[in-house]
Amino acid sequence: MSPYIKIIRPGNVIMAVIAVVLVAIISNNLEMPILLGMLAVFFIISGGNVINDYFDYNIDLINRPDRPIPSGQLSLKNARNYAYLLFVLGTLMGIFITYFINDYLPLIIILFSIAILYLYAYKFKGTVLIGNIVVGFLTGLCFIFAGLIIGIPNGNTEIVFISSFLGLFALLMTMAREITKDMEDIKGDYEEGINTLAILIGLKKSSYCVIFLILLDCILSPIVYFLGIFNLYYLLIMIIAIILFLYGAINIFKGQSPEYCHKTSKLLKFGMLISFIAFAIGSF
């Protein structure tokens, strides 16, 4: 795989784009603005992943030596310029969206997201919980961003509400996964002086935070069914995701070693994918 593809972390980027696709499916809208929104999310999240690896070079020498920059496949300078190019492309998509819907809010969200992604990689990542909140917030913002692109020109407040709910769901589960990943990377973070929640309060207490976020999301997820927004198929598929989430919670309660944390992270990621399928099918 080309280092220029590998460094954007295609799996994570696709998950973010799927958020926009889901809102498009739920609203039955595949017009030009939402298609541009998909491209904007692709470029911005890709740029965020690249700039994150740029600033994480020393940490990745310990935790992720196989990544493109520490392995020597991509130079620091090329990685930085690549990130800037992706951010510029994302901004251009925002300008085009503004032209089509005659509203600057999506472009403002794009510029805000770029600034937050850069500051997160440069500074926030070493701040207890702030980095986790930022990643979760931006993940949830992908849903809200798509809802606004569709809702603003059509005056559709329902899709804005639905996308906001999905954004909250994604925020909570992403935060749980980010804290879990910090627990997995505690050795490298400690050696680099990064003050994560796992380092501040310990692995056991951090696992309780993860479990709380997972349980909160599991409790919230059926609400859109009982409100009549999604159909029964949503609930049936969502049960599978909830089982995966709860299994992840049990797993990290049993042990907080890198192996346990890595397994929990994978379970949460797979559970989120199942959740996205539930959102799409539940809207039919």
Q: Would 254 be classed as within a structural domain?
A: no
pTM over 0.95: no
Percent of the chain scoring above 70 in pLDDT: 99
User: Which sign, positive or negative, has the C-alpha torsion 64, 68, 71, 72?
Assistant: negative
* Residue-number span of the structural domain to which 119 is assigned: 3-219
For residue 43, give the CATH number of its domain: 1.10.357.140
Give the pLDDT of residue 49. 92
Count structural domains, the chain: 1
What is the C-alpha separation between 47 and 80, in angstroms, rounded? 9
Q: Would 250 be classed as within a structural domain?
A: no
Give the pLDDT of residue 129. 76
Q: Would 159 be classed as within a structural domain?
A: yes
User: Mean pLDDT throughout 257-278?
Assistant: 92
Cα distances (Å, whole numbers) of residue 32 to 36, 98, 136, 261:
6, 11, 27, 41
Q: Would 259 be classed as within a structural domain?
A: no
CB 182 within 8 A of CB 197: yes
pLDDT digits 0-9 by tens, 12-51: 898 889 889 999 988 888 889 999 999 999 999 999 999 9
| Listed range (109-113, 118-122, 243-247, 265-269) with the worst mean pLDDT | 118-122
pLDDT at 252 over 80: yes
Q: Would 193 be classed as within a structural domain?
A: yes
Give the pLDDT of residue 126. 64
* CB under 8 A, 24+ apart: contacts of 249-256: 249/210, 249/211, 249/214, 249/215, 252/180, 252/183, 252/207, 252/210, 252/211, 253/207, 253/211, 256/183, 256/203, 256/204, 256/206, 256/207
pLDDT at 157 over 90: no
Residues in the chain, total: 284
Q: Would 60 be classed as within a structural domain?
A: yes
pLDDT digits 0-9 by tens, 70-129: 888 888 899 999 999 999 999 999 999 999 999 999 999 999 999 999 988 887 766 777
Three-state secondary structure call for residue 127? coil
State phi, psi for 102 to the nearest 5 degrees. Answer: 55, 45
Alpha-helix runs per DSSP H in 185-257:
186-191, 197-201, 203-220, 223-226, 232-254
What is the C-alpha separation between 48 and 283, in angstroms, rounded? 31
Give the pLDDT of residue 132. 82
What is the C-alpha separation between 113 and 104, in angstroms, rounded? 14
pLDDT digits 0-9 by tens, 178-221: 899 989 888 777 776 778 888 889 899 999 999 999 999 999 99
pLDDT digits 0-9 by tens, 1-19: 788 899 999 888 988 898 8
Q: Would 77 be classed as within a structural domain?
A: yes
Q: Which of 246, 271, 279 is nearest to 166 (CA)?
A: 279
